[in-house]
Amino acid sequence: MTNRLALLLPKRGEWQLALPLALFFILFFIAPLLLLVVISFYNDQLMTTAGTGQYISFFSDGLNLTVLWETLLLGVKATALSLFMGYPLAWFAARAKGRTQAFFLFVVVLPILTSVVVRTFAWVVILGRQGLINKTLMALGLASEPVRLLFSELGVVIVLAQVQMPLMVLPLMTTLQRIDPNFADASNALGAGAWRTFFKVTLPLSMPGIIAGCILVYAACVTAFVTHTLIGGVRLLYMPLFIFQQAMDLQNWPFAAAISVVFMISVLLIIALLVMLSRSSRAQIYG
């Protein structure tokens, strides 16, 4: 489609239109990030001597690496839960028509548009020792004591999955809608049951959507400062709070910059991995 467009429209001056944004990005996106890297190479808080001191001190301390690892792992867990719960919803929403689909879209889009602080705050009340979930569990006799959900990793995973769920459902919906129904019909006609068709046909075909959703959700989950701190509390230390504490509470900019750089690179590496997965899965299907 883009090719046809390119052929039909005059080429004169088209790339120049992207210049203003490019300039804006150089000034206000690239420059700050470069500055971040530069500042991370100061050995002391007052920024007088240069060196790799901050990186050495980050990597030599097992506890720092644990914080990084646990943050990255948290993202994986929350993304997995989000995928597991979001896929069926996307499946139904993609098949729905008219009013039903409008309803699904409303349910999915409304959370993204509501403030993340508001949505996470609601969970604080729900997950507490005397919150809704515990009250229900105790009333149903499923628990004799309140279950620790607030200030626990389980709570953080649950809330993250819910808060970021729309980012998973929307790309999935788009991809599922585009899958030619002939494939599923052919599979059924050849004798495969519903489950088999799903795992062998639908799922692989929807890979691009799955990967797209996972990328968006993962990126959001690992940097979800509000959710981490409101639900996880101060005892569960993840990278965003760690960076914030060092940068704002302790005013140690070089160290905070170094952790930020390490964090960004880690997240980018994981996302690059997912993108490569997506390319290879597409190659598998389309040959």
Site for other proteins in 14-73 (CB under 8 A): 14-22, 24-25, 28-29, 31-33, 35-36, 39, 63
**Is residue 212 close enough to count as binding other proteins by CB under 8 A?**
yes
**Is residue 267 close enough to count as binding other proteins by CB under 8 A?**
yes
Q: What share of the chain is helix, strand, coil (3-state, %, to 5)?
A: 80, 0, 20
Counting beta carbons within 10 angstroms of the beta carbon of residue 144, is it exposed (0 to 12), middle (13 to 18) or buried (19 or more)? exposed
**Is residue 253 close enough to count as binding other proteins by CB under 8 A?**
yes
In the list 72, 126, 156, 214, the residue contacting other proteins (rule: CB under 8 A) is: 126
Single out the segment in contact with other proteins by CB under 8 A; choices: 11-19, 49-57, 176-184, 276-284: 11-19
Counting beta carbons within 10 angstroms of the beta carbon of residue 6, is it exposed (0 to 12), middle (13 to 18) or buried (19 or more)? exposed
Q: Which is nearer to other proteins, 117 or 285 (CB)?
A: 117
Q: Could you count the other beta carbons within 10 Å of the beta carbon of residue 59?
A: 14
Residue 177 dihedral angles phi and psi, to the nearest 5°: -65, -30
In the list 43, 52, 174, 281, the residue contacting other proteins (rule: CB under 8 A) is: 174
Q: Which is nearer to other proteins, 234 or 283 (CB)?
A: 234
**Is residue 202 close enough to count as binding other proteins by CB under 8 A?**
no
Q: Which is nearer to other proteins, 31 or 285 (CB)?
A: 31
Beta carbon of residue 280, minimum distance to other proteins (angstroms, whole number): 19
CA angle 127, 128, 132 (to 5 degrees): 60
Single out the segment in contact with other proteins by CB under 8 A; choices: 50-58, 176-184, 187-195, 278-286: 187-195
**In whole angstroms, what is the distance from residue 239 CA to residue 21 CA?**
30
Decide if 226 contacts 19 (C-beta within 8 A).
no
In the list 219, 231, 258, 278, the residue contacting other proteins (rule: CB under 8 A) is: 219
Q: Output the DSSP codes for 88-133.
A: HHHHHHHH--HHHHHHHHHHHHHHHHS-HHHHHHHHHHHHSTTSHH
**Is residue 99 close enough to count as binding other proteins by CB under 8 A?**
no
**Is residue 263 close enough to count as binding other proteins by CB under 8 A?**
yes
In 3D space, the residue among 88, 284, 127 whose CA is nearest the CA of residue 204 turns out to be 284
Kindly state the number of chain residues that form the binding site for other proteins, as judged by CB under 8 A. 117
Half-sphere exposure in the Cβ direction for 164 (13 Å, CA): 33
Single out the segment in contact with other proteins by CB under 8 A; choices: 50-58, 162-170, 176-184, 277-285: 162-170
Q: Take residue 112 and report the two structure tokens written for it.
A: 């993204």
Beta bridge partners of 50: 42
In the list 56, 65, 248, 276, the residue contacting other proteins (rule: CB under 8 A) is: 248
Beta carbon of residue 211, minimum distance to other proteins (angstroms, whole number): 13
Beta carbon of residue 55, minimum distance to other proteins (angstroms, whole number): 15
**Is residue 277 close enough to count as binding other proteins by CB under 8 A?**
no
Q: Take residue 26 and report the two structure tokens written for it.
A: 């150089």
In the list 194, 203, 269, 273, the residue contacting other proteins (rule: CB under 8 A) is: 194
